[in-house]
Structure formats: C-alpha cells, structure tokens
C-alpha cells in the first residue's frame, strides 16, 4: 500500500479534509507527532508522500524547540530527491527554510477566512479550484520564495501564500486542509493567540459555517488534482 507520513505539531492541526482524499486514493496515513516522536531517526525517503503540518512556533525558534532543526534536516534529504512533499503553514515555512530561504515575522497576524489571489501559474495549477473561495489563514510569518519555486497565490500581507517546485513540492501558507466543521478545536487551542491579536473567535466561527459548503468541495478537488499529477 502507498504510504503518507504527516508530521503534526499540535493535535487538532491534522490532515483534515486531505485525509479522506488520501485514503480514497489508496494511501495509508501515519502521523508522527513532534515532541513525541524522535524526528532524527525518521526515514524521510520511504513514504510516498510526506506532509508537514502547521503549528504555533516559528522556523527561527529552533534553539527553543530543537525538533524544528531535525525536521528541516529530514526535509533537506527528501527535497533533494524531489519526493512528493506538502508543507502547510509552518510546514511551508520549513520547506522554504530547508531550501535556504528566509522566514521572518511579517509584522501582523493573518487569521480568519479570506480568499487568496492566484497568480497566472496558480490559475493553471490545482489551486485553480480555490479561486474566489475564502480559505483559512492562521499565521504571522512570511517566507521568501525558494530558488526555482513558482508563486501560485498571494494576499496583500503575504506575497508568497503558495508555491510549487515542479509537480512534487507544494507549499501553502494558508490552510485549505482545515475542515470548517471541526474548527472549534482551533478556536480553543489558539484562544490565547486570538485574544492577544484582538480577534473575535465568534467571527471566525460564523465565517466557517458560512463558507463550509464552498470550501470543502473546492479544497477536496484541489488536493485530488495535485495528487493525480505528482510523479513518485
């Protein structure tokens, strides 16, 4: 059976909508939890797909959270072999950092539901399914575009919202995987961050309910198309 390894940083930021897509395509999904699993011994080349999920720490926090450095090391090995890899939020930033790009605070928080602007390349990529669809944003850092990467989407605060390197490497600063039906766990888990940023969770909750129908179908089709076009 084809395999997927997803590295998870907080329990509720999981594969979400993408989990069902992977299972339907015949993949066996296994999670590794940062802090619970020793990432230094992970074979980064054996899974057919690796997904690095989001989390509330920054790429530059590796002295405080040493797992970040181990994660980048395994990413470097995998990316050098051009094996199918997806990074979401922190995961996208880790891919960029593993390839030598700078990741730093943007000076503001981008949290809540809003659409992204697709680039011309984005409009002919799998992300075309998300055009005009409000997606979940939850980050305060920006990444510089890695060498040989193509920008797929942007927002005014974040010019590199999504990028690809060939067919196999995909970085997403936003969260199309997040299932709006399960967003309450995010609101509870990130309550302190929402309060410090002055963001009302009731508005995010309302937007999740309003956008659920469009987002679920669009995000599912987006990931199905990306999956169909990878070259393992």
* Tens-digit pLDDT profile for residues 180-193: 999 999 999 999 99
Residues 50, 40, 163, 3, Cα dihedral to 10°: 0
* Tens-digit pLDDT profile for residues 117-176: 999 999 999 999 999 999 999 999 999 999 999 999 999 999 999 999 999 999 999 999
Task: Give the count of domains, the chain.
Answer: 1
Token pair of 23 as six digits: 């299972």
Cβ neighbours, 10 Å, residue 132: 10
* Tens-digit pLDDT profile for residues 46-60: 999 999 999 999 999
Classify strands 49-52 and 27-33 as parallel, antiparallel or unpaired.
unpaired
Segments in the chain forming alpha helices (H): 17-24, 67-80, 90-98, 120-123, 184-189, 191-197, 201-229
**Average pLDDT over all residues of the chain:** 96
104 lies in which domain range? 2-229
Angle at 15 between CA 202 and CA 87, to 5 degrees: 100
168 vs 232: which has the higher pLDDT: 168
pLDDT band at 1 (very low <50, low <70, confident <90, very high): confident
* Tens-digit pLDDT profile for residues 215-227: 999 999 999 999 9
Q: What number is the average pLDDT over the span 96-121?
A: 96
CA pair distance 118, 128, nearest whole angstrom? 8
Q: What number is the average pLDDT over the span 101-114?
A: 95
10 Å CB burial of residue 152 (0-12, 13-18, 19+) is: buried
Q: For residue 68, give the 3-state DSSP assignment.
A: helix
Angle at 22 between CA 31 and CA 83, to 5 degrees: 75
Domain with residue 60: its CATH number is 3.40.50.880
Give the sheet arrangement for strand 49-52, strand by strand.
27-33, 2-8, 49-52, 85-88, 169-172, 162-165, 150-154, 117-118
Token pair of 219 as six digits: 């995000």
pLDDT band at 232 (very low <50, low <70, confident <90, very high): low
Whole-structure pTM value: 0.97
pLDDT band at 66 (very low <50, low <70, confident <90, very high): very high
Residues 166, 37, 193, 109, Cα dihedral to 10°: -20
């Amino acid at each position: 059976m084809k395999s997927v390894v997803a590295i998870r940083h907080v329990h509720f930021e999981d594969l979400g909508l993408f989990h069902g897509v992977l299972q339907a395509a015949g993949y066996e999904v296994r999670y590794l939890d940062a802090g619970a699993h020793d990432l230094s011994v992970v074979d980064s080349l054996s899974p057919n797909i690796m997904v690095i999920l989001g989390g509330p720490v920054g790429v530059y926090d590796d002295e405080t959270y040493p797992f970040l450095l181990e994660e980048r090391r395994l990413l470097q090995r995998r990316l050098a072999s051009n094996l199918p890899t997806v990074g979401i939020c922190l995961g996208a930033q880790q891919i960029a950092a593993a390839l030598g790009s700078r990741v730093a605070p943007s000076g503001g928080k981008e949290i809540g539901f809003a659409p992204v602007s697709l680039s011309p390349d984005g409009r002919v990529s799998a992300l075309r399914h998300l055009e005009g669809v409000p997606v979940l944003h939850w980050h305060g850092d920006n990444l510089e575009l890695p060498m040989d990467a193509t920008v797929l989407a942007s927002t005014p605060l974040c010019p590199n919202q999504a990028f690809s390197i060939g067919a196999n490497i995909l970085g997403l600063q936003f969260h199309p995987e997040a299932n709006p039906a399960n967003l309450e766990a995010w609101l509870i888990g990130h309550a302190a961050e929402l309060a410090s940023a002055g963001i009302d969770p009731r508005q995010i909750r309302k937007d999740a309910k309003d956008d659920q129908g469009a987002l679920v179908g669009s995000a599912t089709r987006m990931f199905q198309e990306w999956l169909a076009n990878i070259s393992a």
